[in-house]
Amino acid sequence: MDAQQQKERVKEFARELGVDDVGVAAASSYESPRSPVLKSIFPGVASLVVMAYKELATCESENMQIAMNGRLDLMEFSRSCNYKMARFLDREFGAKAMTVPISYPLMMSRETQGSVGDVSTRHAALAAGLGTFGRNNLILHPDFGSRALFTVVMTDLALSGDPPLTERLCDDCNECVESCPGGALDVEGRTDVMKCLKHSQPYGIGGNIRFWWKFAESSPEEQQAMLADERYWRLYQAGSIGFQYFCFNCIKNCPAGS
């Protein structure tokens, strides 16, 4: 089997898994200036298999439990697809493979502020021809627009890469910018991470630290009241499921996609 036939076999397997779209990139065409160099993670990496998943309509719900549950469903499904794809590459071609998740685990430190992925799945999707950047700094997929999420399987198998898309899929309607509650998209080409986090993850690490700081300085009566407060209960849930998003505006309000 040549590199082209191997790629077709890999794509066929991805579709059998139920993945919505799949693309392949040569590792050398991945460019993400702020993320670590791929070879520092996987010295033999030759190709990236990038899988795309359509976000469910749950992201449109004002009920944030239902909205997040759709994302959790997608994350669980994509984790299984990643594992199966990695095992397939090993079984079928004797190739080494390493998986990259939708989001977590992520390098957490004050320096990176939990905002730099070890492998940027957006830049991998761009290199694999699965979409192009929009005004919301997300990759717009030709069919799913902003409602597309990506996982990556890195492999030492040299597969033939897909051509990058050249079409601009964003029509600059500005809906994403106007509906962002924190003004995180005001500067073109840059998401203000802190402004986004404040609204999209109010019970994330910042909220957690503030809560426990205040708790430590409070009297026993105040502490009791704090533990009975909805804020603590929400922090508890966000922590136990990993994290919880409370904003999907820049994806749900984007009209791109067919």
CB 86 within 8 A of CB 191: no
99 binding partner (options ligand SF4, ligand B12, none; Cβ < 5 to 8 Å by kind): none
Q: Any contact of residue 199 with ligand SF4 (CB under 6 A)? A: yes
Q: Any contact of residue 102 with ligand B12 (CB under 6 A)? A: yes
Residues written for the chain: 258
Q: Any contact of residue 68 with ligand SF4 (CB under 6 A)? A: no
Q: Any contact of residue 150 with ligand B12 (CB under 6 A)? A: yes
Terminal-to-terminal C-alpha distance of the chain: 35
190 binding partner (options ligand SF4, ligand B12, none; Cβ < 5 to 8 Å by kind): ligand B12
What residue number has its CB nearest to ligand B12? 117
* Cα distance between residue 125 and residue 217, in whole Å: 47
CB 76 within 8 A of CB 48: no
189 binding partner (options ligand SF4, ligand B12, none; Cβ < 5 to 8 Å by kind): ligand B12
Question: Which residue of 6, 32, 47, 58 would you call a contact of ligand B12, by CB under 6 A?
Answer: 32
Q: Count the neighbouring beta carbons within 10 Å of the beta carbon of residue 163.
A: 8
Question: Which residue of 6, 146, 155, 244 would you call a contact of ligand B12, by CB under 6 A?
Answer: 146
**Quick one: CA dihedral 213, 218, 220, 222, positive or negative?**
negative
Question: Which residue of 170, 203, 235, 244 would you call a contact of ligand SF4, by CB under 6 A?
Answer: 170
Q: Any contact of residue 254 with ligand SF4 (CB under 6 A)? A: yes
Segments in 28-136 forming alpha helices (H): 38-41, 64-93, 121-127
Q: What is the three-class DSSP state of 108?
A: coil
Tell me how far, at minimum, the Cβ of 205 lies from ligand SF4, in Å: 16
Edge-to-edge strand ranges of the sheet holding 97-100: 21-26, 47-54, 148-155, 97-100
Torsion of CA 128, 247, 54, 82, to 10 degrees: 60
Q: Any contact of residue 181 with ligand SF4 (CB under 6 A)? A: yes
| Amino acid (1-letter code) at residue 219 | S
- Residues of this chain that interact with ligand SF4 (CB under 6 A) are 134-136, 146, 170-176, 180-182, 184-185, 191, 196, 199-200, 247, 249-250, 254-256
- Residues of this chain that interact with ligand B12 (CB under 6 A) are 32, 34-35, 102-103, 106, 115-117, 119-122, 133, 136-139, 146, 148-150, 189-191, 193, 196-197, 200, 245, 247-248, 250-251
